[in-house]
Amino acid sequence: MTNQSIPLDRIFQALSDPTRRAVVERLTLGPASVSELARPFSMALPSFSQHLNVLEESGLVVSRKSGRVRTYALETETLAGAQDWLQLQRDKWTRRLDQLDSYLLQMTET
């Protein structure tokens, strides 16, 4: 396991939950307070806070406290790292499928 795979593991584990994916989607619109982020979900605030902790530990979001209000924002560099990895995988599979396509075309021509 490389050093890079550990953060990727945390990112994908964090994104594996629909609640956390919804929070990330909401944060694409801009920073939001915990209460604003929790509003659409029917769960207790401590349970929702656990989701925010997972997102923060994965590096997908950052939080800032001003007085009694904690605000979360998306950490776009972390998402970009995951996107880069996914693009590498997509490129690899595109090349493999292109090679398979070429091979199958050669097989039908003979």
Q: Is 102 exposed, middle or buried (0-12, 13-18, 19+ CB in 10 A)?
A: exposed
CATH number at residue 22: 1.10.10.10
What pLDDT is recorded for position 1? 45
Alpha-carbon distance 78 to 50, whole Å? 20
Residue 29 maps to a domain = yes
Residue 27 maps to a domain = yes
| Number of domains comprising the chain | 1
The one-digit pLDDT tens for each residue of the chain (110 residues) are 444 556 899 999 999 999 999 999 999 999 999 999 999 999 999 999 999 999 999 999 999 999 999 999 999 888 888 888 999 999 999 999 989 999 898 888 87
What pLDDT is recorded for position 2? 46
Residue 84 maps to a domain = no
Residue 107 maps to a domain = no
Residue 103 maps to a domain = no
Residue 37 maps to a domain = yes
Q: Which domain holds residue 65?
A: 4-78
Residue 106 maps to a domain = no
What pLDDT is recorded for position 110? 72
Type of residue at 20: R
Residue 14 maps to a domain = yes
pTM score: 0.77
